[in-house]
Amino acid sequence: MTNKQWQTLLAVIRGERVMPLPAAFIIDSPWLPNWAGMTILDYYASEERWLQANLKAIQTFPDCLFLPGFWSEFGMCTEPSAFGAKCLFYENEFPFAEKVIHSVEDIDGLAQPDPRRDGLLPFVIKRLRDCQPQIEAAGHRIRFAISRGPLNIASFLMGPTEFLTEMKITPEKIHQLLRLITNFVSDWLAYQRECFPTIDGVLMLDDIVGFIGEADFKEFAQPYLKELFTRLDVSVRAFHNDSPCKASAPHLVDTGINLFNMGIDVALKELQDWTGGQVALMGNIPPRDVLAAGTAKDVETAVEEQVSSLADTRRILFSCGGGMPPDVPSENVEAFIVKLKDVSAPESRPPRRSSA
């Protein structure tokens, strides 16, 4: 993100009125490689191609905020690899991390990884360090420390069904695992900031939060997430969960979250109500059916309907639900940005009614 874009993001989070209405997308390996003309494995394996894809995105859409911006990652394998997970990579499919916990007794044998040496994490840092001069020459800075959340990582280490089942059968072992993972993630986020002092934001992604009810959220998710979001003194505390969020949304403020990227199962107006208007929201036109599979006209219609559905557009980053999906064409991204500018123009907004 450029300094101007970062200030725009901070203004949105503070609840200031920002015009034109800001367009923003989370972009990473599901979309960037193929859009930029390379395979997913090309993107992971080559610093040059990774940098090329990210530079192409910011040059093609200079008016769009891309979060986290120059995301150095290896898909869902990034954090599980530090625990010794076998990582399966394919030429043009998403990578996958195999389980390392086959029974709850295996939790006792896990040691806390060191992000400075374990798994793929040193490669994440090395890529950013090597590309930092070119990133900054393009006017951007490394702004975010990024990690999958504790429940997400646990679900890869155990398997999602096994993790959620053991949450009910052996909650003490699940707390033991989440404590270990939280300590690791805390160290991982702090190390990223140590390496890149320009970091002033945290982005955490955890879709498993959407698979549990409110009581389980408050017991198994909120304490660990709150610890991670509040430990670093950063301005932006962004959370991605594009699975159902009704159980967790009313607690986002108390968890320390000030920016939330959701899925499409809820309207932004509902989320404004559930969060008391205190959390900036990033979303949420349908990513697959409209942004990827729709026409440019479909995208324009979705944007117009999204904006018109809101009485208050403060604390909104207009986006899709979740991250940018595969196969979104440039024409649809451009249609989104242009239409958002059009509906931001004063003449496009209905006149205020007189109070007389």
Token couple for 140: 């951007």
Q: Which residues of 47-86 are buried (b: 16+ CB within 10 A; e: fewer)?
A: eebbbbbbbebbeebeebbbbbbbbbbbbbbbbbbbbebe
Residue 345 pLDDT class (50, 70, 90 cuts): confident
The per-residue pLDDT for range 187-210, each reduced to its tens digit, is 999 999 999 999 999 999 999 999
**Is residue 353 scored above 60 in pLDDT?**
no
What is the pTM (predicted TM-score) of this model? 0.95
> Which residues are CB-neighbours of 176 under 8 A, at least 6 positions away?
107, 108
Over residues 277-303, mean pLDDT:
98
What's the full length of the chain, in residues? 356
Radius of gyration of the chain, Cα coordinates, nearest whole angstrom: 20
Please say if the pLDDT value at position 271 is more than 50: yes
Q: Enumerate domains of the chain plus CATH numbers.
A: 3-347 (3.20.20.210)
The answer to whether 241 and 221 are in contact (CB under 8 A) is no
Give residue-wise pLDDT tens across range 27-79.
Answer: 999 999 999 999 999 999 999 999 999 999 999 999 999 999 999 999 999 99
Tens digits of residue pLDDT in 8-23: 999 999 999 999 999 9
Question: What is the residue type of 93?
Answer: E
Burial of 305 (0-12, 13-18, 19+ CB in 10 A): exposed
Which of 62, 63, 78, 84 has the alpha carbon at shortest distance from 28?
78
Q: Which helix (H) or strand (E) holds 226?
A: helix 222-231
Task: Grade residue 346 by pLDDT with cuts at 50, 70 and 90.
Answer: low
pLDDT digits (tens, 9 = 90+) for 99-125: 999 999 999 999 999 999 999 999 999
